[in-house]
Amino acid sequence: MKAGRLLTPFISPAKGIVDVPGSKSFTNRALICAGLADGTSVIENFLMADDTEAMIAALEDLGVLVIADENGGSLQVTGLSGPPAISDISINARLSGTTSRFIVPAVAVGRGKFTISGEAPLMRRPFHDQIVALRSLGANISELGEAGCLPLKVDANGLEGGTIHVSGEKSSQFASGILMAAPLMKNGLTLHLEGAVVSRPYIELTLDVMRRFGAEISNPADGTYVVSPTGYQPAEYYVEPDASAASYMFAAAAITGGTVRVNGLSRSSKQGDIKFVDVLEDIGATVHSGDTFLEVSGGPLSGGKFDLKDFSDTAQTLAAVAAFASAPIEIEGIGFIKAKETDRIEAMATELERCGVSVNRSQNGMVINPNQWALRSAQVETYDDHRMAMSMSLLSLRVSGIEILDPECVDKTFPKFFEVLESLRDNNDFFSGTTPVIAIDGPAGAGKSTIAKLLAEHLGVPHFDTGAMYRAVTLACLDAGLDVENVQAVALLAKKIEIRVGSRVQIDGVDVSERIRGIEVGQNVSAVAANSLVRTILVERQRRWAIESGGGVMEGRDIGTAVFPDAALKIFLTATVDVRAKRRFDEKSDQSLEQVKKEILSRDETDSSRQDSPLRIAANAVIVDTSNSTIGRTVELLGMLFRSEVIQ
């Protein structure tokens, strides 16, 4: 059984200013160029993670000297002054796609025998297009296992260069690797990209790094690059923060309605993934950009259709954000990510569905159909994919019981991901500017009344059952022979009667605790609860209760949205329709299970579609699925959230 990390939801909006690691894309490209340069380069703000450690180890195997300074802020890289020359060596690229796809062309321009392999997931990733392109230049490459995959044997004797055509439809890394080797080809290289190029910004990023190390490149036509045989010169290179890593922090702001700033990035970045903030802006977030920072503030999230072909590493991030949108979000243009660390479309769809999200798959993308009522706790598989772990962790910001299996896989690109995400938790001003009420909302049968009462006892605070108030008014109407659809008459009666809610419920001094739970009351209470005049009368009494009692636990269907939108803690309890129906069936032996289920569905429709204060999930409410949880565990969880205790 894989080790897991159980994450604790945020009870207030994400807030903070963070530094994210240096870009993996820039770091590994700078390492290659520095490793082939004639002299010693300094790379600052580099990313130290599994992928870059794999690149450093590969370069050291080739004879490159890499020294980190004492503070770990920079690397000194003394290059080979040209292509590698080794009689026979094996290089393990571990799980790093960039390392393998950059090293293969780098050794192909050298001299010697080189075997490039990796861990099992990397060995399954495609290399065919790069192999074909290098062979067209005269490289002697043998596939030692499955065709078009690692391990590869390169019997190198230098490359003359010339003109090649490379498909850009599957991975920009193939072209980037060949381009970076091109300055070491005797006659340079003219490279033509063919087809619909994916992740094109990464090609431009590659060229930018190459130029910083002295390469001369022209771009005479779209998709055509001419690289001169200049070799590389040493350089001092500063690695920009990773826009892919920043996407998770920006997503945290969007999901929780908070504000998060990432230092060192701006919209002018050459990283394609910087466009992720444009998508967030399109669906409702606010983006502020300075010369040295990007800041995202969340808001109500809408749907939309987005082509992420050029910044596909954020597709999983957007899919996680989409679970909290008000309308479907379609992600297209990403069919090629099926050949990444895992089939990212299938993996993301599977894990979102495990958490209650409906997803439609296609060969080129997916459509996420959000329904926050259906969100639930789950153990999330990560498939040895760092982006699966980081993106699915975002669900835990609002949903309780999300456990990320094999969380250490984030070390591939963002070793301190969980610590940085946790730093956005704002507990310092938890009670400042809030009403000391725990607001518990949710549909019928979710367990609100029972859990609210026990939670109040657990915390030693008062409890108020708002549903009992509406049931009391409903019972009074039935006893008086009033039509519950008569808005004015019901409101007059509600204003007239005295209702006391405590351990028992009284109407004008008469105990009606059992009677308000009767079948007829249950069948009519939605109409009363939808009466805006009645709600105005009862909400005023509920607010007065909070003032007089000093706060406590209050449950209903609009406590966190309408009655106490500034509640200290907002909870939305939910459960599957089948579970809720079974609970009510167990309480009502005179109805069939199917009848109770129909009643539950009808109640859901009425409560969620009524004009006045419909049942909604409040902003920043923690979604707690009680389907597979005991009452005791749920009460303990809510107590921990109120005490701001983080699950370790």
Q: E-strand spans in 454-522?
A: 463-465, 499-501, 505-507, 510-511
State yes or no: cis peptide before 462, omega within 30 of 0: no
Positive or negative: CA dihedral 624, 628, 634, 637: negative
Measure the CA–CA gap between 26 and 47, rounded to whole angstroms. 9
Measure the CA–CA gap between 49 and 203, rounded to whole angstroms. 22
Burial degree of 99 (CB within 10 A; 0-12, 13-18, 19+): buried
What is residue 380's three-state secondary structure? strand
Residue 531 Cα distances to 488, 506, 538, 610, angstroms:
9, 21, 11, 9
Measure the CA–CA gap between 590 and 579, rounded to whole angstroms. 18
Rounded to 5 degrees, φ, ψ at 22 are -65, 155
Measure the CA–CA gap between 640 and 637, rounded to whole angstroms. 5
**Residue among 15, 17, 44, 13 nearest 31 (CA):** 44
CA 557 to chain centre: 28
Tell me the Cα Rg of the chain.
Answer: 30
Catalytic pick among 129, 273, 313, 406: 313
**Residue found under tokens 């790069």:** 130
Concatenating the DSSP letter of every residue in 253-273 gives: HHHHT-EEEEET--TT-S-GG
Concatenating the DSSP letter of every residue in 174-192 gives: HHHHHHHHGGGSTT-EEEE
Helix (H) or strand (E) holding 567: strand 567-574
Q: Which two tokens stand for residue 551?
A: 């706060």
Measure the CA–CA gap between 12 and 609, rounded to whole angstroms. 27
Is 638 within 8 Å of 573 (Cβ atoms)? Answer: no
Strands 499-501 and 505-507: antiparallel
Which amino acid is located at 502 in the chain? G
Is 402 within 8 Å of 379 (Cβ atoms)? Answer: no
61 included as an active-site residue: no
Residues identified as active-site = 313
